[in-house]
Amino acid sequence: MSTSDISSVTNLLAEAKVDKINEVSFKGQSLKLDEAKDALPIVNAIEEAKDVQSLRLEGNTLGVEAAEAIAKALEKRPEFQRARWSDMFTGRLRSEIPPALRSLGGAIIKSSARLVELDLSDNAFGPDGVKAFKELLTSTACYSLQELRLNNNGLGIGGKILAEALIECHKLSTQAGKPLELKVFICGRNRLENPCAIALAKAFKTLKSLEEIAMFQNGINHEGITALAESLAYNKNLKVINLNDNTFTAKGAISMAKSIKHLDKLEVINFGDCLVKSEGAEALADTLKNGVPALKELYLAFGEINSLAAVKIVESLYGKAMEKLDLNGNCLGEDGIEEVKGTLEAADQLDILGSLSDDEGDDEEDDDDDEYEDVDEDEEDEEGTTIKDPALEVKGTAIIPKKENTQVSYTVEEFLTFPTADKLLGIGNDRADKFSNHLKDKQSDVESVIKVFMNVAIVMDSKRPKVIEAIHECTDAILGQFLKDNDTKMDVVLNTILVHMGLIKSEDKIKPIADLSGILITLAYVCKQEYFPVKLKNILTVFIAKPHPALNRCVEARDQLLSALYT
């Protein structure tokens, strides 16, 4: 990184404050607020603040009386815009939540505030909770709403009530001369299933303004997916579609492929864990070949996609400014993996490919989309003989030896060429020493050290304890002594980290990391270590807390880091 690219920490902080909003935050304080007197610290903070544009209450637990006290303070705040109220009813009875929500919503309406963001995620209020804040959603306070986050609320059939409220709000706001222009709709892990997906699809057709839709893990199959697909075509400004962990099958994937073809602003498609099948993947490839010009990230992991379809997907990405392609957990086989990698390498795009460590092997695909049967652990062959030999597995009617799980050895250099979690483990138990030796003569080269750290952090897999342990060991080895030796260069270190994360720009052509999840989770560990300077911790907090598209795509990981930084 050239000297001209390196701004002072003071300048960076000044830049970070450009979009600053006035916020009262009690985030993560684990306050148990039962009675009105318990809420006095929050009430006082609201009343004493010059402006209150945002109120964060996540990580606490509010009772009915406490909510009423806070609501009364909010009645006098017409400038209020952002209700960041996720995870604020932990341990509460289901019956306590609706009256608390009605109090808070009523206060916003009474204040004549105009909301921009409403986040009620991680509050298990179910359909009754939706009924409680429906009045708010259809009021003038929400005519200006841009972001609605309802993640992990157990909505169930409440999704229909939500859809009706959005349609009603759009109708009323249109009559008032300024139609609702909702941009972000987050509603994952809510058991919406087909009926609610179809109802929400109707709402999306009405809105036509959405830029991001996330409805992952909702038990939606091809009928609901097809309805959603049709609605997406009405939202021409869509940039992000996340339907991870629903069940498309080829039928749903083909419908989706037809609908997204003319979404020219679409940047992120996440159909991972959706069982799109090879036929569905081929339909998507046909669409991507001639459409979706702005695409940057494509997630198709665990979809029962064979190597032929995977190669077609890869070929469809030629000419696009891709940053991430996830095909892990499919049925490519060793030859298919090599073909996929070779095709990407020929197009100078190999760096976009994620790990393929969970590939299921070259296997015949079951094209029956209507039947899914779990196979018992004790399978019977055609003669009725029970197979219990752990060295054997059943594929159809064939009995074949299981593949042994062998660990391939790698060098640090091989890992850095194309980082994966398995390669990191393959370096061996002395991997920390090997990384130290690799960087032995580079301790004064900030760019080189940070780049190695980033390559280690991006392979973070929170579901694999051995990978987490290996990343922690290597991170300590990479950054421990380095940060102590470069205490006077903290501004350079910070700049380099932020440039690689894409949070600040550099004149050098450094390609920012597309998926910051691993970096954020690893930094959550690093910032708790003695070798991590308090100076870096304080300034990093400013940048991670500031809204940014790359951070908005990995909210859970960002919140994990912020929690560690605030500790």
The ranges of the chain annotated as CATH 1.25.40.200 are 412-566
Would the pLDDT of 377 be above 50?
Answer: no
* Model pLDDT for residues 165-198, shown as the tens digit of each residue: 999 999 999 999 999 999 999 999 999 999 999 9
The terminus-to-terminus CA distance of the chain in angstroms comes to 32
Q: What is the spatial distance between Cα 520 and Cα 208, in angstroms, rounded to a whole number?
A: 33
* Model confidence band, residue 488 (pLDDT cutoffs 50, 70, 90): low
Secondary structure letter of residue 515 according to DSSP: -
Above 50 in pLDDT, residue 5? Answer: no
Question: CA–CA distance from 562 to each of 28, 539, 546, 557 (Å)?
Answer: 10, 12, 11, 9
Output DSSP code: residue 348. Answer: T
- The pLDDT confidence band at residue 407, using thresholds 50, 70 and 90, is low
Distance CA 511, CA 554 (A): 19
Q: Is 233 helix (H, G, I), strand (E, B) or coil?
A: coil
Going by their DSSP bridges, the two strands 398-401 and 392-395 should be labelled as antiparallel
Residue 208: predicted pLDDT: 97
H or E stretch covering 158? helix 158-175
- Rounded to whole angstroms, how far apart are CA atoms 269 and 317? 13
Judge whether 128 and 157 are in contact, CB under 8 Å.
no
Band of pLDDT at residue 509, cut at 50, 70 and 90: low
Q: What's the rounded Cα separation, in Å, for the pair 432 and 477? A: 6
At 355 the three-state DSSP class reads: coil
Q: How confident is the model at residue 385 (pLDDT cuts 50, 70, 90)?
A: very low
Percentage of the chain exceeding pLDDT 90: 63
Mean confidence (pLDDT) of the chain = 86
User: What's residue 508's pLDDT?
Assistant: 67
pLDDT digits (tens, 9 = 90+) for 512-556: 787 888 999 999 998 898 888 888 888 888 888 888 888 888 888
Longest Cα–Cα distance in the chain: 80
| Average confidence (pLDDT) over 499-520 | 81
Give residue 532's pLDDT: 87
Residue 1 scores a pLDDT above 50: no
Distance of CA 190 to CAs 48, 125, 265, Å?
Answer: 37, 11, 27
pLDDT above 60 for 220 = yes
Length of the chain as a residue count: 567
Pick the CATH number of 249-367 from 3.80.10.10, 3.30.360.10, 3.40.50.12280, 3.30.1490.100: 3.80.10.10
Report the alpha-carbon distance of residue 470 to residue 430 in Å, rounded: 10
Residue 489 has pLDDT above 80, yes or no: no
Q: Which whole-number Å values give the CA distances from 223 to 226, 270, 283, 372, 507, in the listed order?
A: 5, 18, 17, 16, 48
pLDDT for the residue 559: 86
pLDDT interval class at 396 (50, 70, 90):
very low
Q: Which pLDDT does position 363 carry in this prediction? A: 57
Q: Assess whether pLDDT exceeds 50 at residue 339.
A: yes
Contact 63, 36 (CB under 8 A): no
Residue 398: is its pLDDT beyond 60?
A: no
CATH number belonging to domain 412-566: 1.25.40.200
- pLDDT higher than 50, residue 38: yes
Q: Under DSSP, is residue 249 helix (H, G, I), strand (E, B) or coil?
A: helix
pLDDT of 506 strictly over 80:
no
As a whole number of angstroms, the distance between CA 214 and CA 354 comes to 21
pLDDT at 156: 92
Average pLDDT of span 196-219 = 97
**pLDDT at residue 543, rounded to an integer:** 87
Every domain of the chain with CATH number 3.80.10.10 lies at 249-367
When pLDDT is cut at 50, 70 and 90, the band that residue 20 belongs to is low
pLDDT at 393 over 90: no
pLDDT in tens, 251-275: 999 999 999 998 999 999 999 999 9
Residue 537 buriedness (CB in 10 A; 0-12 / 13-18 / 19+):
middle
d(CA 229, CA 211): 14
Distance between CA atoms of 334 and 235, rounded to whole angstroms? 40
DSSP 190: S
In the predicted model, is pLDDT for residue 7 greater than 60?
A: no
Per-residue pLDDT band at 507 (split at 50, 70, 90):
low
Q: Which pLDDT band holds residue 444 (cuts at 50, 70, 90)? A: confident
User: Pick the residue with more confidence: 507 or 62?
Assistant: 62
| pLDDT level of residue 405 (50, 70, 90 thresholds) | very low
